[in-house]
Chain A
Amino acid sequence: MTVDVAVLQSDLSGKELPGGHIVIEHHEAFIADRALRAGFDPEGAAHPAWFVIASLRCMGISVEELCTLAHKGEGDTLLFGNCRLDLRQALRPGHSYVTSASIGEVVSRTTRDGARLDSMEVLVRLREDVSDGAEVGTVVNTYLLKRGEPR
């Protein structure tokens, strides 16, 4: 049985997540550049996709655990609905960053095919992993759960 949206909003909106920590390893940066068809950056910056990667790896809970919080059922499908980046400075391979994370708006609507579609924003802020490290950017990911019939 699908959870009521009012319960989801009450349980999740504003909830602080543990956040985390990431080191952009040189080998992972190299492999990601090729998998993403990116060019070499002569100034040594990491691909900006690392903001997205950090936001997904460093919520402090896994996407699976986030799905559990959102009462994802067997017949529900998780989709990545939206991603918004605000960047202050480039990330760098070999460097370390810390994140804080929280759940923002939780809303529900009905799709054209009559399915219920719940959306949940997760805000992740990245800082340099040093004392009084500067904020380098924020990422807001919107996850969609298309509710379906249990298989």
Chain B
Amino acid sequence: MSTSTVPAVGDEPRPLHVQEVREEDIWMMALILRDPNPIHFDPEAVVQAGLGDRAINQGGATMAYVMNFLTSWAGSQQALRQLDCAFRANVAVGDDVEVGGRVTAVEPAEDGHLVSLDVWADMPGGVRAIVGTASVLWQERCA
């Protein structure tokens, strides 16, 4: 058993790879979000919107992959303090997504350290779907 090391500026956590976004997951999130936008379930609507021919993942769902990356690295779903995401490109059914980040600041906080990061979510070919910033509370724990 060892104590986790506080991250340093420049650290890059291990990327999170999401393999092949699934149509049924987009449909489930459309129901949970109460999101009637047909670009999430009707390929014809996607074509009409000029967005390709595959159902589009919800921006909030792609953002959730970034949350998974941050909270798994920080060791707790409760570690996330801030997340600001700009949606630059659509993720569609069948796309792979790789989430990454880089530590930009580390500050002492009451309960540990507040770690700031630049974050991103990329698709194959270097298309950046999300670019953003985040902060997580890094607490001493057993790794």
Chain A residues with a Cβ under 8 A of chain B? 28, 31-32, 34-39, 41, 43, 45-49, 52-53, 56-57, 62-64, 77-87, 89-90, 151
Question: Does the CB pair A47–B64 fall under 8 Å?
Answer: yes
Determine chain A's interface SS by DSSP, over half rule: mixed
Q: Are A53 and B33 in contact (CB under 8 A)?
A: yes
Question: Quick one: which of B35, B67, B68, B77 has the most chain A CB within 10 A?
Answer: B77
Q: B78 — nearest CB in chain A belongs to which residue? A: A90
Contacts A52-B60, A83-B60; A36 near B68 (Cβ below 8 A): yes
Q: Which residues of B contact A31 (CB under 8 A)?
A: 28, 32
CB-CB < 8 A to A90: which residues of B? 77-78
Contact A49 B86 (CB under 8 A): no
> Interface extent on B, as a size class?
35 or more
B3 contacts chain A at the CB level, 8 A cutoff: no
Q: Which residues of A contact B2 (CB under 8 A)?
A: none
Q: How far is the CA of A86 from the CA of B77 in the complex (A)?
A: 14
Which single residue of chain B is at the shortest CB-CB distance from A151? B48
Nearest-Cβ distance from residue B129 to partner chain A, whole angstroms: 12
B-to-A contact residues, CB < 8 Å:
18, 24-26, 28-29, 32-37, 48-51, 58-61, 63-65, 67-68, 71-72, 76-78, 80-87
Q: In angstroms, how far is the closest chain A Cβ from the Cβ of B21? A: 9
Q: Which of A32, A38, A77, A89 contacts B32 (CB 8 A)?
A: A32
Chain A contacts of B78 at CB under 8 A? 41, 43, 45, 89-90
- State in angstroms the CA–CA spacing of A37 and B61 once bound together: 10
Known: A37-B65, A89-B78. 15 other contacts (CB 8 A): A31-B28, A34-B25, A37-B25, A38-B67, A43-B78, A45-B78, A46-B77, A48-B71, A49-B64, A80-B87, A82-B87, A83-B87, A87-B80, A90-B77, A151-B48
